[in-house]
Structure 1
Amino acid sequence: MVRFIALLVGVAFAGVLLLALGNTVYGVVTDPPAATAEHEFHLHPKELKLASDGAFGKYDNRQLQRGLQVYKEVCSACHSLRLVSFRDLEGIGYNEAQVKNFAASIDTIPSINPDTGEASTRKGIPSDRFPSPFANDVAARAANNNAIPPDLSLMTKARHDGSAYVYSLLTGFQNQPAKLLKEFPDSKTPPGLHYNPYFANLNLAMAPPLTSEGQVAYLDGTRPTVDQMAKDVSAFLTWTAEPKLQARRQTGFAVIGFLLVFCVLAWGAYQNVWRNVKH
């Protein structure tokens, strides 16, 4: 009797689920959701090829150094790299002396005046992390149309197609298409925001950061087009998110090699142990 009641309860529960699913499918078919501007005009990130792509990819230190230069001269005005220390820059080809000089060039590291006990700033040292451009969130909102610029340390890991997303966002600012305004008259970009089809809701508070060729004068002589600067800083942010990428891959290949050798040895041992046993 108990089993019969349990069976009835299970059948009833399954029936309710099937009924709910059927009603949902029927509603979608008969009354599909209205199209939105975000759904119709949001674009998938552009294709971006970096030296670090693929199983055997390696970082291009020259490109990473150019990307650091773009970050320092353009992006650092609004965005922080709170998880990156100056000494980490040795990982992209700088020596110890160069890292010390770079750290010392940053004179906005928060500190305390030992004589007065008041807040002050000092020059950076290699163990310091990249400082935030704003004292707090209130100051960040006040300077950016009530939006807090995100930290970029892990940005390429926090977004789908991260490197390509950053590159597309930086090169995707444009005027709203006439077709969008015709189909969705209420979707006009609000004052203070900027249209970008690679952003989720098409409008963001960040103004185009890379606006013209030569905005950054590359030290290695590379032509600083907007496209090149966007690629370089995207590569740099890929490194900040995964500074141990190459070491991780090398470890992975070593583990795979070990497992292959182990499998061969195990198979050989199996054959040796059971060689006299008739099947």
Structure 2
Amino acid sequence: MAAAAVASAARSLARARGGLLLPPPPGGPCRRANMASLSSLNRGKKVALTTLGVLTAGGAGLALALHTAVNAGELELHPPEYPWSHGGMLSALDHSSVRRGYEVYKQVCSACHSMDYLAFRNLIGVSHTEAEAKALAEEFEVQDGPDENGEMFMRPGKLSDYFPKPYPNPEAARAANNGALPPDLSYIVNARHGGEDYVFSLLTGYCEPPTGVTMREGLHYNPFFPGQAIGMAPPIYNEILEFEDGTPATMSQIAKDVCTFLRWAAEPEHDQRKRMGLKMLMIAGLLIPLVYYLKRHKWAVLKSRKIAYRPPK
């Protein structure tokens, strides 16, 4: 009763002063007037207003889509995931593929790309025997010295030598490739997002540029390369070489083998790491039940004990 009296007094005071102290209720005169004006429209005007609203919303959506869209020259494809034979948790590298991949690198890739962190001795027991690796090293002439006269000399390569470089320095590499520096391939699989999936897609992804995209002279269109304009010409195609084991040298086979070789080059411990992981799983399978039993045995006394408080008499 007291609250009602206070509210009545406030309204009386507001009327006396010609104003309102309290806000109008939700269903006030303004809202009722708007509803009345909308309901008074005929059917044609309602349809026109609805059509105008739909067109406005559609135009705003189209403008947003055009604002965020990219043209064909800015389109970049992400490489798909391929079912590599070494992709499983316990799957080893295909060493025959590694051997063929070295052939691809030696006959195709080594003309422009270096592998500064790989020596001929690393091939022993992986893709070649010691005699084969020694013969491969002796095919190259390596500068050594100085001799007893203080002069440099050339000698056949040895197992301890690293793969020869195609260019003496980065400046010479840029001059021979229209200003582009061919990257070193020792860790290229780990250095690129997507790993061997990216390298395989790049090698096999050359195509004609889409309509409206023009390429400068010396550049080639590849949708998997960032920017789509790559200075390297298509390096592989069908029957570009012949494998020693008679495997058909199709483009996809060549790309697959060189990607497997590059995976091994980036992770020479690949097979050993997975073998150690398997051993750890087997040892853990024996140790975990034993540790669990000892834990239950040691803590059984503490967890089953009963603590009782006996106050002094």
Normalised TM-score (structure 2): 0.71
Counterpart of 2:124 in 1: which secondary structure?
helix
Q: Does 1:140 align with 2:173?
A: yes
TM-fit CA distance, 1:105: 1.4
From 209, 232, 240, the equivalent of 1:206 is: 232
Task: Give the whole-Å Cα distance in 2 for the aligned partners of 1:238 and 1:58.
Answer: 11
The structure whose Rg is larger is 2
The answer (yes or no) to whether the contact 1:169–1:198 under 8 Å persists in 2 is yes
1:71 and 2:101 aligned: no
- Secondary structure at 1:122 match in 2: strand
Instruction: Specify the code of the residue in structure 2 equivalent to 1:202.
Output: Q
1:111 aligns with 2:136: no
**Cα distance in 2 between the residues matched to 1:215 and 1:265:** 59
Does residue 175 of the first structure (1) align with residue 208 of the second (2)?
A: yes
Query: 1:192 corresponds to which letter in structure 2?
Result: G
Match of 1:197 among 216, 223, 236: 223
RMSD: 2.3
Distance in 1 of aligned mates of 2:65 and 2:240: 54
Match of 1:236 in 2: 261
Question: For the structure 1 residues 147 and 118, does the alpha-carbon distance in structure 2 shift closer, same or farther, using more than 3 Å as the test?
Answer: farther
Spell out the pairing of 1:1-279 with structure 2 (5 A cutoff): 32-33=67-68, 35-37=70-72, 39=74, 41-107=75-141, 109-112=142-145, 114=147, 117=150, 121-178=154-211, 181=212, 187-211=213-237, 213-277=238-302, 278=304
Listed one character per residue, the Cα deviations across residues 45-96 of structure 1 (whole Å, up to 9, x for unaligned) are 1443322111011111111111100100000000001111101001423111
Q: Within 2, Cα distance between the matches of 1:168 and 1:31?
A: 29
Give the CA deviation at 1:43: 1.3
SS in 2 for 1:71: helix
Preserved contact between residue 100 and residue 258 of structure 2 (Cα < 8 Å): yes
- Give, as a single letter, the amino acid of the residue that structure 2 aligns with 1:100: K
> Share of identical aligned residues, percent?
39
Structure 1 residue 265, shift from structure 2 partner: 1.6
Q: Deviations over 1:193-247 (max 9, x none)?
A: 1111110110111111113x22111100001111111111111111100111111
Q: 5+ residue gaps in structure 2?
A: 1-63, 306-313
Gaps of 5+ in 1: 1-28, 182-186
**Contact 2:90 2:278 (8 Å CA) reproduced:** no
Q: Is the 1:106–1:124 contact (alpha carbons within 8 Å) kept by the matching residues of 2?
A: yes
Write out per-residue CA displacement over residues 97-136 of structure 1, whole angstroms, 9 at most, x where no aligned residue.
11111111122x3334636655554321111111110011
Distance 1:135 1:115, change over 3 A: farther
SS of residue matched to 1:92: coil
RCO comparison, higher one (Cα < 8 Å, 6+): 1
| Mapped partners of 2:65, 2:86: distance in 1 | 48
Q: Distance in 1 between matches of 2:113 and 2:189?
A: 14
SS for the counterpart of 2:101 is helix
Amino acid at match of 1:256: L
Higher mean Cα deviation, 87-96 or 69-78?
Answer: 87-96
Consecutive aligned runs of 4 or more in structure 1 exceeding 6 Å deviation: none
